[in-house]
Structure 1
Amino acid sequence: MLSLLQILYAITSVLWFIVIVHIIMSWLINFQVLNLRQQFVAQVWYGLNRLVDPVYSRIRRFLPDMGGLDLSPVIVLLVLFAIRTVIQNNMYNFY
């Protein structure tokens, strides 16, 4: 059981990193620090969008329209934080 919790914790850590990278890239693209005409930037951006958009779209259904403000990444980070905290607090019961 400990191995499963460690694998789940590692998966949530990777997802946390992906969401953080997506948030930072969106800021850099919006402030025109990164340019989507560069092939590498465009490939990374579209790859990240394909990973996180299914999760974001499910959360956006329940959130009210906030104009240009998208709170779905914050909700995803809060859920990942809660899952990681529960796993981390219960991992020591299986030693």
Structure 2
Amino acid sequence: MDPVAFLRLFAEAFIDVLGSVLTIAIFVRVLLSWVQVRLPLGLADFLFSVTEPVLGPIRRALPAMGGIDFSPFIAVIAIQIVQGLLLSLIRLA
């Protein structure tokens, strides 16, 4: 396999895994906000530190909507769009 093809496959896999992990982390954070669960030490802090850089700016940009936080929904859609665009660009190169 030539180096360019290898780098292309690596970049595709990296973007795919990164998008999936971030999406799963957002879903887990949403689920944990609905139920009281005792997590191992540091896991909740880790989830917060991974997801807040994505959710925080969206939450600040959205107007208040009756106590419902739509930032996770919008973040997941944005992640999917960006992931699709990046993968398309890599495949075209």
- Compute the TM-score of the two structures, normalised by the length of structure 1: 0.70
Aligned amino acid, residue 52 of structure 2: D
Give 3-state SS (helix, strand or coil) of 2:35's partner: helix
Consecutive aligned runs of 4 or more in structure 1 exceeding 2 Å deviation: 83-94
Cα deviations by residue, 1:42-70 (Å, 9 ceiling, x for unpaired): 63222211221222111112100113211
1:85 equivalenced with 2:84 (yes/no): yes
Shift in CA distance, 62/49, structure 1 to aligned 2, threshold 3 Å: same
User: 1:1-95 alignment to 2 at 5 Å?
Assistant: 1-2=7-8, 3-29=10-36, 34=37, 38=38, 40=40, 43-88=42-87, 93=92
- Compute the TM-score of the two structures, normalised by the length of structure 2: 0.72
Counting aligned pairs with the same residue, the percent is 24
Structure 2: gaps of 5 or more residues: 1-6
Structure 1: gaps of 5 or more residues: none
Shift in CA distance, 61/91, structure 1 to aligned 2, threshold 3 Å: same
Q: RMSD across aligned C-alpha pairs, in angstroms?
A: 2.3
What is the alpha-carbon distance in structure 2 between the residues aligned to residue 39 and residue 75 of structure 1?
Answer: 26
